[in-house]
């Protein structure tokens, strides 16, 4: 009896072994061919062509379903969970030149971090979002003056010789045209100094980004390439006491806004004034009568009602303007008011 049992177990051993191996092979093959799905997140990178900058990208990532053999997905599960899938696209020159473009997400954007022989077994389904909106702008380069932003607190008895300066006084700025074209100066970072009693020379970084308002209402921060990235800021001070200096015979200018409805006139004896400036001697030496401006702003008088052909006098304040590089404490016109005669030329 035991012999028959052993014979039943081990009889035809070779055939049974082959059957077992074939069964296992069929199981592994079937397992490898079963299709499963995995939802993953993929980063999205849009690259503009040379000569353009990308200012806006509506989405930085997409969610999608990856379908493929169960065995492969099981092996790739860690990679999928770590979002090692990437989508990338390069804009065409025509798309970049258009400014705003809406691009449909395509399977050929996928750049997985896996071998190609595994990648070809995968397919993409249910991509969200299906489209991405971008905005590109041509790159522009300009040379602009540098504006030194400095908050200087001097010790008692000391004065600034001039407004803060820097070397070099200009910088090259490169970035999106809509930002670079709107700039008038390159701003430095803020420099704060306290209890200053002597000249200061200090490296100062220039701001390398700016905000831009897009036509869709979005505000974006745009990086700029600034050369040089830093300048040498100079703060010159003096301990000289301030004094007053009079500049006689300064013509009074009449500043009229566009479309001013009246004809203004000044009496001959009031067409020139004396301007008294209080400043340190070093700053007063930078001034002459031609550099001192006196004017009357007529903008508010545009609202006055004067009958056609009639005239009316107005006593208006004389304002003073000095060159921006001159540091001063006060500047006062004498007399500080003049009579403006306005005539309505109609009638």
Residue 314 belongs to what H/E stretch?
strand 311-317
Do 124 and 19 lie in one domain? The reply is yes
89-111 tens-digit pLDDT: 999 999 999 999 999 988 778 77
Taking only the tens place, the pLDDT of each residue in 149-196 is 999 998 877 888 888 999 999 999 999 999 999 999 999 999 999 989
Asked if residue 191 lies in contact with residue 204, where contact means CB atoms within 8 angstroms, the answer is yes
The predicted model gives 302-329 an average pLDDT of 92
Is a pLDDT exceeding 50 seen at residue 294? yes
Judgement on whether residues 183 and 221 belong to the same structural domain of the protein: yes
User: Is 224 a member of any domain?
Assistant: yes
Do 149 and 232 share a domain, yes or no? yes
CATH of the domain at 273: 2.170.120.30
Does residue 28 have a pLDDT over 60? no
In the chain, the percentage of residues whose pLDDT exceeds 70 is 87
CATH number of the domain encompassing residue 206: 2.170.120.40
Domain end point (choices 111, 129, 147): 129
The H-or-E segment that residue 44 falls in is strand 35-47
Beta bridge pairs of residue 347: none
Residue 8: pLDDT over 60: no
Residue 3 lies inside a defined structural domain of this protein: no
Same domain, 71 and 105: yes
How many whole angstroms separate alpha carbon 147 and alpha carbon 166?
Answer: 8
Going by C-alpha positions, the residue among 279, 286, 293, 295 that lies closest to residue 245 is 279
pLDDT score recorded for residue 26:
47
Higher pLDDT, 306 or 125: 306
Residue 81, domain member (yes or no): yes
In this structure, of 37-41, 204-208, 277-281, the range with the lowest mean pLDDT score is: 37-41
For residue 8, being part of any structural domain is answered with no
Domain contains 85: yes
- 97 and 195 in one domain? no
- Predicted model pTM: 0.62
Among candidate residues 109, 161, 136, the one with its CA nearest the CA of residue 286: 161
pLDDT at position 31, please? 45
The confidence score (pLDDT) of residue 77 equals: 67
Site of tokens 């809406």: 102
Query: Domain check: are 124 and 23 in the same one?
Result: yes
Residues 98, 157 within the same domain: no
User: Is the same domain home to 74 and 168?
Assistant: no
Domain that holds residue 20: 14-129
Do residues 18 and 119 both lie within one domain? yes
Number of Cβ within a 10 Å radius of residue 22: 10
249 and 189 in one domain? no
Euclidean distance between CA atoms 166 and 230, whole angstroms:
10
61-69 β-sheet, strand order: 86-90, 35-47, 61-69, 123-128
If asked whether residues 215 and 291 sit together in one domain, one would say no
Q: Are residues 248 and 338 in the same domain?
A: yes
Number of domains comprising the chain: 3
Residue 4 lies in a domain: no
How many other CB atoms are found less than 10 A from the CB of residue 23?
A: 10
Residue at 5 is within a domain: no
Average confidence score pLDDT of the chain? 86
The per-residue pLDDT for 283 is: 87
Boundary-marking domain end, from 202, 218, 238: 238
d(CA 134, CA 101): 5
**HEC string for 206-264:** ECCEEEEECCCCCEEEEECEEECCEEEEEECEECCCCEEEEEEEEEEEEECCCCCCCEE
Backbone angles phi, psi at 108, to 5 degrees: -75, -5
Section 301-310 average pLDDT: 92
CA dist 318 and 335 (Å) reads 8
What's the mean pLDDT in 317-328? Answer: 92
- 9 in a structural domain: no
Domain boundary among 182, 208, 238: 238
């Amino acid at each position: 009896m035991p012999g028959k049992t052993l014979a039943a177990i081990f009889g035809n051993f070779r055939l049974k072994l082959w059957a077992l191996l074939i069964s296992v092979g069929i199981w592994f093959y079937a397992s490898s061919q079963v299709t499963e799905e995995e939802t993953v997140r993929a980063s999205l990178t849009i690259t503009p062509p040379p000569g353009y900058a990308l200012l806006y990208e509506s989405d930085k990532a997409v969610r999608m379903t990856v379908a493929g053999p169960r065995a492969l997905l099981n092996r790739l599960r860690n990679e999928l969970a770590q979002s090692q899938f990437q989508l990338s696209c390069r804009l065409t020159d025509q798309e970049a030149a258009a400014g705003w473009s809406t691009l449909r997400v395509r399977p050929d954007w996928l750049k997985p971090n896996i071998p190609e022989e595994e990648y070809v077994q995968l397919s993409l389904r249910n991509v969200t979002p299906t489209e991405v909106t971008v905005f590109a702008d041509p790159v522009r380069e300009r040379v602009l003056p540098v504006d030194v932003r400095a908050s200087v607190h001097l010790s008692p008895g000391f004065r600034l010789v001039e407004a803060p300066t820097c070397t070099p006084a200009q910088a090259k700025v490169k970035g999106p045209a809509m930002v670079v074209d709107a700039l008038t100066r390159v701003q430095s970072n803020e420099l704060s100094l306290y209890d200053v009693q002597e000249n200061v020379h200090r490296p100062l970084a220039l701001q390398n980004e700016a905000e831009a308002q897009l036509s869709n209402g979005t505000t974006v921060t745009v990086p700029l390439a600034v050369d040089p990235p830093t300048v040498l800021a100079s703060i010159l001070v003096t301990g000289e006491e301030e004094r007053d200096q009079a500049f006689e015979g300064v013509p009074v200018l009449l500043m009229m806004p566009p479309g001013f409805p009246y004809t203004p006139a000044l009496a001959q004896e009031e067409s020139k004034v004396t301007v008294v400036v209080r400043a340190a001697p070093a700053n007063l030496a930078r001034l002459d009568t031609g550099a001192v401006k006196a004017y009357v702003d007529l903008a508010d008088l545009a609202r006055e009602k004067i009958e056609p052909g009639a005239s009316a006098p107005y006593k208006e304040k004389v304002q003073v303007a000095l060159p921006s590089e001159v540091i001063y404490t006060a500047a006062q016109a004498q007399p500080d008011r003049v009579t403006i005669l306005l005539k309505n030329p109609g009638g």
